[in-house]
C-alpha cells in the first residue's frame, strides 16, 4: 500500500520522546509498503524551530525509507494557550496545502493521528479531494482531557472541538483507539459502530531494549551519571499540566531519609516552575534532566530500579495508557503506576509493579518503602512485565496487525 500519514509530532531521527509512529512506519516499510508523512516543524516540547526550518513553510526530507514533508507550525506553539491553539491551526492549514500540492502520486489511504484533533479536518479534506479513504487514530480523548485538566475552558472552543470530533468519527472509514477504555467510550458514549472501531495500542520496542539488555554496562553507566548508592525511580515524559509533577516533589520530601532518587527526564511547559519549586523547598532527591534520544532513555531506564508513569488525578486519565509504561516493561523494570483505570489494570494484570494513587503522598511513601524493604520484588515484577509485554504488546506484531486491518477496510492487500 501507499500510505499518507498526517502526524504533527512525527519525530526527527534525533528527537527525544515517544516514537510510536516512527516505529510503526519502519515496520510497514520493511514489509514493502510506502509511507509519506506530513509532519510539523515544532517538537511538542520545543520552544522554537530548528535553524533549517526558519523562514520556510515546507521542507522535504528523507528519514530512512520514509519521505517526510515538514510543514509550518507557528513558533507561538509553546508560549501560551492561544499560541498552542494557533500552533494546531497553522499545522492544519499547512498540512492541507502540502497534502494537495506538495505530495505527488496516488495514495491508497490517508491516516491521521490525534491529538491535535483539528488536523482531522485537514485529513478529511485531503481524502475527499484526492479520492482515498480516511483512517483516524485516537491517541488521547480530546477535548475531554484538555477540559479536565483546565487547559481548555472557552465554551465556544469546546463546542467547536466536540463538533469537529463528531464529524471526524462519522466520516472516517476506520477509527483506531489505543486503549480498551477509549474503545468502550467511543462505542457506548459516542455511538461509533463497532464495525468501524479497532484497537492497536502503544507497544514495547524490543528491538532496542533486547540489545541493550545484553550490552549495557549498568554499573559503569550508574557511576558515570552519579547514580551509585541510590534507589533510582525514573520518570520519562512530558513535564506539563497533565502530569502534575509536584506530586513527585512531595514524595521526595517524604522519602528524604532514604536513598531514593527520583530522576525526571523530559521537557514541557511546567518544567521550569517545578524545578524552581524543588529549589525553593530544598528537595535534593529529585533530579531533572533534559530530553535525550530514545536509546539514551533506555540506558537510564536500565540503570534504574523502577520506572514511573504519572498523571494528574482526573477521571479522563483513567482511560489512557502511558506509552513509557511499555518501555519500562521491555527493559524488565517494575512500574510505579500513578495513573488509575486501564493503566492500573495493565500493571496489575501483568504483575509488573504497583499502583500508587495519584497525588497521594502517603501512598507514595508507603509503597516505595515497601520496595526498599523487599528488593527481591524488583526482579520478579520486572520479569513478569517483560513476559506480559512480549506476549501482548510487541511493536512488530501490532504494526503488522494494524496495516492488515487497514488493508481489509479499504480492500487492499
Q: What gap in Å lies between CA 24 and CA 401, rounded to an integer?
A: 11
Q: How confident is the model at residue 196 (pLDDT cuts 50, 70, 90)?
A: very high
Is the pLDDT assigned to residue 182 strictly greater than 80? yes
Q: What gap in Å lies between CA 313 and CA 407, rounded to an integer?
A: 39
Is the pLDDT assigned to residue 45 strictly greater than 80? no
Q: Which of 98, 26, 99 is nearest to 65 (CA)?
A: 26
Q: What gap in Å lies between CA 310 and CA 237, rounded to an integer?
A: 9
Percent of the chain at pLDDT above 90?
A: 80
How far is CA 9 from each of CA 14, 22, 68, rounded to the nearest angstrom?
A: 13, 10, 12
pTM of the predicted model as reported, rounded to 2 decimal places = 0.85
pLDDT of residue 116: 85
| DSSP conformational letter for 103 | S
Could you tell me the domains of the chain? 2-203+394-409 (3.40.50.2000), 206-392 (3.40.50.2000)
**211-234: pLDDT as tens digits:** 999 999 999 999 999 999 999 999
Lowest-confidence segment of 43-47, 71-75, 352-356, 370-374 by average pLDDT? 43-47
pLDDT of residue 141: 84
**249-260: pLDDT as tens digits:** 999 999 999 999
Q: What is the mean pLDDT of residues 58-73?
A: 97
How far is CA 396 from each of CA 165, 295, 392, rounded to the nearest angstrom?
A: 30, 18, 11
Q: What is the mean pLDDT of residues 166-194?
A: 94
Q: Are 316 and 144 within 8 A, CB to CB?
A: yes
Q: What gap in Å lies between CA 349 and CA 193, rounded to an integer?
A: 28
**107-164: pLDDT as tens digits:** 999 999 998 888 999 999 999 999 999 999 999 888 887 788 777 788 888 898 889 8
Q: What gap in Å lies between CA 220 and CA 270, rounded to an integer?
A: 32
pLDDT of residue 382: 98
Is the pLDDT assigned to residue 198 strictly greater than 70? yes
Is the pLDDT assigned to residue 79 strictly greater than 80? no
Q: How confident is the model at residue 18 (pLDDT cuts 50, 70, 90)?
A: low
Q: How distant is the alpha carbon of residue 227 from its chain centre?
A: 26
Residue with cell 480516511: 134
Q: What is the mean pLDDT of residues 316-333?
A: 94
- The grid coordinates listed for 295 are 536509546
Q: Which residues contact 324 (CB under 8 A, 6 or more apart)?
A: 18, 235, 236, 237, 307, 309
pLDDT of residue 115: 85
Percent of the chain at pLDDT above 70?
A: 98
Q: What is the mean pLDDT of residues 367-392?
A: 97
Is the pLDDT assigned to residue 290 strictly greater than 60? yes
Q: Which of 127, 121, 165 is nearest to 143 (CA)?
A: 165
| Dihedral, CA of residue 361, residue 362, residue 368 and residue 369, to nearest 10 | 140
DSSP sequence for 250-302: HHHHHTTTSSEEEEEE---TTHHHHHHHHHHTT--SEEEE---BHHHHHHHHH
Q: What gap in Å lies between CA 411 and CA 404, rounded to an integer?
A: 10
- Output the average pLDDT for the chain: 93
Amino acid at each position: 500500500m501507499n500510505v499518507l500519514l498526517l502526524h504533527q509530532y512525527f519525530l526527527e531521527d534525533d528527537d527525544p520522546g515517544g516514537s510510536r509512529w516512527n516505529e510503526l512506519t519502519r515496520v510497514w516499510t520493511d514489509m514493502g509498503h510506502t509511507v509519506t508523512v506530513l509532519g510539523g516543524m515544532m517538537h511538542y516540547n520545543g520552544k522554537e524551530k530548528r535553524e533549517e526550518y526558519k523562514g520556510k513553510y515546507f521542507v522535504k526530507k528523507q528519514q530512512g525509507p520514509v519521505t517526510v514533508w515538514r510543514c509550518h507550525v507557528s513558533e507561538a506553539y509553546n508560549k501560551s494557550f492561544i499560541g498552542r491553539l494557533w500552533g494546531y491551526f497553522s499545522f492544519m492549514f499547512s498540512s492541507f496545502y502540502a497534502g494537495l500540492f506538495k505530495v505527488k502520486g496516488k495514495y491508497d489511504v490517508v491516516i491521521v493521528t490525534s491529538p491535535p484533533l483539528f488536523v482531522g479536518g485537514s485529513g478529511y479534506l485531503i481524502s475527499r479531494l484526492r479520492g482515498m479513504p480516511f483512517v483516524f487514530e485516537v491517541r488521547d480523548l480530546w477535548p475531554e482531557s484538555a477540559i479536565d485538566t483546565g487547559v481548555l475552558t472557552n465554551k465556544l472552543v469546546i463546542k467547536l472541538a466536540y463538533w469537529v470530533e463528531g464529524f471526524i468519527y462519522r466520516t472516517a472509514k476506520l477509527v483506531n483507539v489505543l486503549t480498551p477504555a477509549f474503545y468502550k467510550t467511543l462505542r457506548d458514549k459516542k455511538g461509533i459502530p463497532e464495525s468501524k472501531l479497532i484497537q492497536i495500542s502503544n507497544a514495547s520496542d524490543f528491538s532496542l531494549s533486547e540489545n541493550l539488555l545484553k550490552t549495557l554496562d549498568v554499573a559503569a553507566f550508574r557511576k558515570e551519571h552519579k547514580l551509585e548508592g541510590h534507589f533510582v525511580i525514573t520518570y520519562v515524559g512530558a513535564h506539563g499540566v497533565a502530569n502534575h509533577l509536584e506530586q513527585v516533589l512531595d514524595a521526595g520530601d517524604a522519602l528524604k531519609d532514604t536513598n531514593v532518587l527520583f530522576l525526571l527526564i523530559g521537557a514541557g511547559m511546567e518544567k521550569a516552575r517545578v524545578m524552581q519549586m524543588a529549589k525553593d523547598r530544598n528537595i535534593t532527591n529529585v533530579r531533572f534532566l533534559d530530553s535525550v534520544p530514545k536509546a539514551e532513555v533506555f540506558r537510564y531506564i536500565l540503570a534504574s530500579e523502577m520506572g514511573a508513569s504519572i498523571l494528574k488525578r482526573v477521571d479522563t486519565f483513567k482511560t489512557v495508557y502511558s506509552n513509557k509504561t511499555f518501555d519500562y516493561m521491555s527493559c524488565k523494570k517494575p512500574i510505579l503506576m500513578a495513573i488509575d483505570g486501564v493503566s492500573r489494570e495493565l500493571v496489575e494484570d501483568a504483575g509488573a509493579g504497583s499502583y500508587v494513587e495519584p497525588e497521594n503522598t502517603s501512598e507514595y511513601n508507603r509503597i516505595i518503602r515497601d520496595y526498599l524493604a523487599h528488593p527481591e520484588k524488583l526482579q520478579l515484577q520486572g520479569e513478569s512485565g517483560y513476559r506480559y509485554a512480549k506476549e501482548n504488546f510487541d511493536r512488530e506484531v501490532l504494526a503488522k496487525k494494524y496495516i492488515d486491518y487497514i488493508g481489509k477496510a479499504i480492500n487492499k492487500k
